[in-house]
Amino acid sequence: MKIFLLSLLVAFAAYLIAAVGGYYAIVKLSSNSHDKSMEASMTSAFVLGPIAAIITFIGAYFYFRSHG
């Protein structure tokens, strides 16, 4: 249970980092001039953040399980 909760905490941190970083990257790099802030917020919250959280959770779980 400790490994699961620690992996969940790391995944939450990865979600926040990816969502905030993705938002600023999309704002800077997107050529969308109509609704750039909406594109950046939706993509970072519903695509980049969850992908980073899932990948990080899996990696952290196996890492803590093997080094625990």
Structure tokens of 34?
């109509």
pLDDT of residue 11: 98
Is residue 7 predicted with pLDDT exceeding 80?
A: yes
Instruction: List, for residues 50-64, the tens digit of each pLDDT value.
Output: 999 999 999 999 999
State if pTM tops 0.85.
Answer: yes
Is residue 68 predicted with pLDDT exceeding 90?
A: no
What are the domain boundaries of the chain? 2-67
Residues near 14 by Cβ (< 8 Å), separated by ≥ 6?
Answer: 52, 53, 55, 56, 57
pLDDT of residue 32: 87
